[in-house]
Amino acid sequence: MSRHDLEALYSEYLPRIDRIFAVLARRNGLPADAADKFATWAKARIVENDYAVLAKFRGRSSLSTYLAVVLTVLYRKYRVLHDGP
C-alpha cells in the first residue's frame, strides 16, 4: 500500500480508533485529560514511519480487531513510559 492509501485508511478508521480509545480509557479509569494525552501519543505512534502500524496489518483478523490489540499494547507502553511499571 502506498502512503496515500495508508493515510486514507487511517482517516476512514479514525472514528473506530477514537471508540477504542474511549473503551480503553473507561476500562482503565483514565480521567479525560489523561485519556486525551494517551490518544494524542498513540495516534502519533500510528502515523509515524509512514503509517508503519497500518502497513503491518496482514488481514488475519478485522482491521478493527487488529487496531484494538495495537492500541492496547500501546497503552501498556504508554503507562510504562509515563507512569513507571
Return d(Cα 81, Cα 74) in angstroms, integer. Answer: 10
Q: What is the mean pLDDT of residues 43-62?
A: 95
Return d(Cα 59, Cα 51) in angstroms, integer. Answer: 16
Q: Which domain holds residue 71?
A: 3-83
The mean predicted confidence, pLDDT, of the chain is: 94
**Phi then psi dihedrals of residue 19, to 5 deg:** -65, -40
Model confidence at 47, pLDDT cuts 50, 70, 90, reads: very high
Model confidence at 1, pLDDT cuts 50, 70, 90, reads: confident
- 62: enclosing H helix or E strand: none
> Which CATH number characterizes residue 39's domain?
1.10.1740
Number of independent structural domains in the chain? 1
